[in-house]
A = this chain, B = another copy of it.
Amino acid sequence: MKLYGFWRSLATIRVRVALNLKGIKVEDAPINLLKGEQRSAEFLAVNPQGALPALVLGDGKPALFQSIAIIEYLDEIQPEPPLMPRDARGRARVRGLSLIAAADGHPLVVPRVRHYMEHELHLDEATRNRWLAHWTAAALKSFEGHLARDQDTGRFCHGNSVTMADLCLASQVIGAKFFNADTSEVPTVMRIFGECMKLDAFDRAHPLKQADAPAQPGH
């Protein structure tokens, strides 16, 4: 398999953790989002959406795309360790939590949106940074609202083993560090993030540990 990603792509982090947990090795194909390589003809042939990550299975068929779809696929073809609960209601909760990051928080801070804010809306850097911090924090507060309330919350988002929701939570907290978002009001989120980062599968997926990461990363 070949994974198209970028060291600081939050959606790619989620897939990397899943691959690490499942023990699936992939070839890395870095696409530099800051240089706009996602809009190249070569990459658009892989993923017409021009977004990361994309996973080529090597069977001659189109690449898989969208991190949540890729993670569910990996969980189906390699069920151990499971990333989804066994019961339908549990799966709905894990998917719902995952989508707080993947479908509500993250889409507001991706490079194409930052590009539009700078070049079409002509917003200054401070205003753009406030936007990034605001929506990243809002998603973390949504996580906190569910996690602090629900009896299903355990050591991790859903019980005491890692699920897809933890991959999404971790990517969102890593994004909070990039964007200087406030994390002081989300203690449950930060406790679970701490549990995640104790695990090798999360640690190895961290942006700064990727081969294409710069020695001194900027934003």
The chain A residues found within 8 Å of chain B, CB to CB, are 44, 48-51, 57, 61-62, 64-66, 68-70, 72-73, 76-77, 88-89, 91-93, 95-96, 98-100, 102-104, 106-108, 112-113, 116, 120-121, 123, 127, 130-131, 134, 138, 142, 144-146, 149-150
Distance between A187 CB and nearest chain B CB, rounded to angstroms? 15
In the assembly, what is the distance between CA of A57 and CA of B107, in Å? 29
Main secondary structure of the interface of A (DSSP, over half): helix
A91 adjacent to B108 (CB under 8 Å): no
Residues of chain B within 8 A of A72, CB atoms compared:
91-92, 95
In the assembly, what is the distance between CA of A88 and CA of B99, in Å? 20
Residues of chain B within 8 A of A121, CB atoms compared:
121, 123, 127, 131
User: What's the number of copies of this chain in the assembled complex?
Assistant: 2
Residues of chain B within 8 A of A88, CB atoms compared:
73, 76-77
Distance between A90 CB and nearest chain B CB, rounded to angstroms? 10
In the assembly, what is the distance between CA of A116 and CA of B149, in Å? 27
B116 adjacent to A68 (CB under 8 Å): no
In the assembly, what is the distance between CA of A91 and CA of B144, in Å? 30
Knowing A48-B146, A49-B146, say if A103 contacts B99 (CB, 8 Å): yes
In the assembly, what is the distance between CA of A51 and CA of B73, in Å? 27
